């Protein structure tokens, strides 16, 4: 409309008898407004149908409460609160002086027991030879054998004690048993910890995370019919609190072993990768669940779709970069895409941003979202 208005201004002024404008009327009539820049992308395909929405809850697949197993002064805290700690990382170090001493003491008892056992074995062997040659009594042999077995038992007890004190010594270093995000520490350096000190910190695995949601038995049977079919044919995504669709698809892991008697719903558990930490355990999300049917549906970015009183439509890039209106019939939305049941074919190029600048039948300057698409058009 603006373009036509500007073209007629010189003509009107010329009719009013203004020579300067009359001289340039023909020149201005041949000028055109510059074509607007708009973003375009190719219509794609998706094989998901009939998207269902559920309220899901994010939880961790693994959580560990750290506690002290021995007593001692806390000498070092080896992390910052909120850190992502790795399995095997030393998190706390307690004073191990007493436990080092107990290990030495246990090792000394083993050495003593081994020496006594060696002496008892010699006495036992001599007593047996004397008894076999009838040079000594049965009572003397039994006494030597009893002493030998007693020292065997004493050695075993000393070895068990060494295992126990070595374990105590090892537990003066509290090590991360899993990789995950650690929370607030209940104790800082200088405190004296005991096994009764309670939970000193908690590690929560944050990648991957679990999302659970209640799926009606009706939806379960209508869409899938079995757990195996659900795992094999489902497309599961998340819509976050800001309205965006989470970029990583999930994996159905298992179903609960029974449905709710009150709601006739089955709790479904899915797993999502969380490399960037966007998903937070304990928060709620919208679960988008669809069935992959093996076929394909045309799909476009939702921003490409417009509506008027007649129908939904898109602008298709035609010959000479002219934008043409195309009425379409919408299907379902899935995975950040809007499916199109009719009116558009996969591969056609549509305007996805800047639709307000498009005049049907007029040229546009396309800004290709996909660089490979731009090269193909130029070739």
Q: What is the DSSP string of 197-243?
A: S-EEEEEE--SSEEEEEEEEHHHHHHHTSSHHHHHHHEEEEEE-TTS
Coil vs helix vs strand at 312: strand
Report d(CA 6, CA 33) in Å as an integer.
Answer: 9
The pLDDT, as a whole number, for residue 13 is 47
The pLDDT, as a whole number, for residue 113 is 95
The pLDDT, as a whole number, for residue 319 is 84
**pLDDT tens for each residue of the chain, 379 residues long:** 444 444 445 444 444 444 444 444 444 444 556 889 899 999 988 776 667 899 999 999 999 999 999 999 999 999 999 999 999 999 999 999 999 999 999 999 999 999 999 999 999 999 889 888 888 888 988 899 999 999 999 999 999 999 999 999 999 999 999 999 999 999 999 999 999 999 999 999 999 999 999 999 999 998 898 999 999 989 899 999 988 889 899 999 999 999 999 999 999 999 999 999 999 999 999 999 988 776 677 889 999 999 988 789 999 998 888 999 999 988 766 657 888 888 999 999 999 998 899 998 889 999 888 644 444 444 3
The pLDDT, as a whole number, for residue 39 is 93
The pLDDT, as a whole number, for residue 310 is 79
Coil vs helix vs strand at 119: helix
The rounded Cα 158 to chain-centroid distance in angstroms is 49
């Amino acid at each position: 409309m603006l373009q036509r208005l500007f073209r007629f201004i010189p003509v009107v002024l010329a009719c009013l008898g203004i020579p300067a404008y009359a001289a340039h009327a023909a020149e201005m009539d041949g000028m055109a407004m510059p074509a607007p820049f708009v973003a375009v992308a190719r219509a794609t395909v998706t094989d998901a149908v009939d998207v269902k929405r559920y309220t899901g809850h994010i939880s961790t697949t693994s959580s560990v409460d750290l506690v002290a197993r021995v007593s001692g002064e806390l000498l070092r805290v080896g992390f910052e609160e909120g850190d992502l700690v790795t399995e095997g990382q030393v998190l706390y170090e307690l004073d191990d002086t007493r436990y080092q001493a107990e290990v030495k003491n246990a090792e000394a008892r083993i050495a003593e027991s081994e020496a006594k056992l060696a002496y008892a074995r010699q006495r036992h062997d001599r007593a047996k030879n004397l008894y076999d040659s009838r040079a000594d009594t049965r009572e003397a042999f039994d006494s030597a054998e009893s002493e030998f077995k007693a020292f065997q038992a004493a050695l075993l007890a000393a070895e068990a004690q060494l295992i126990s004190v070595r374990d105590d010594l090892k537990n003066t270093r509290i090590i991360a048993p899993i990789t995950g995000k650690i929370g607030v520490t209940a104790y800082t350096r200088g405190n004296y910890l005991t096994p009764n000190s309670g939970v000193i910190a908690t590690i929560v695995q944050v990648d991957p995370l679990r999302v659970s949601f209640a799926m009606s038995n009706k939806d379960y049977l209508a869409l899938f019919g079995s757990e195996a079919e659900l795992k094999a044919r489902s497309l599961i995504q998340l819509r976050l609190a800001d309205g965006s669709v989470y970029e990583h698809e999930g994996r159905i892991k298992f179903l609960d072993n029974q449905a709710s008697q009150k709601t006739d719903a089955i709790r479904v558990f899915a797993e999502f990768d969380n490399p960037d930490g966007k998903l937070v355990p304990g928060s709620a999300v919208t679960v988008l669940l669809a069935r992959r049917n093996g076929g394909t549906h045309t799909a476009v970015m939702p921003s490409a779709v417009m509506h008027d009183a007649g129908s939904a439509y898109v602008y298709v890039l035609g010959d000479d970069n002219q934008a043409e209106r195309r009425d379409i019939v919408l299907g379902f939305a899935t995975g950040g895409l809007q499916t199109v049941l009719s009116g558009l074919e996969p591969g056609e190029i549509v305007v996805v941003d800047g639709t307000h600048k498009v005049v049907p039948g007029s040229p546009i300057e396309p800004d290709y979202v996909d660089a490979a698409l731009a090269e193909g058009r130029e070739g």
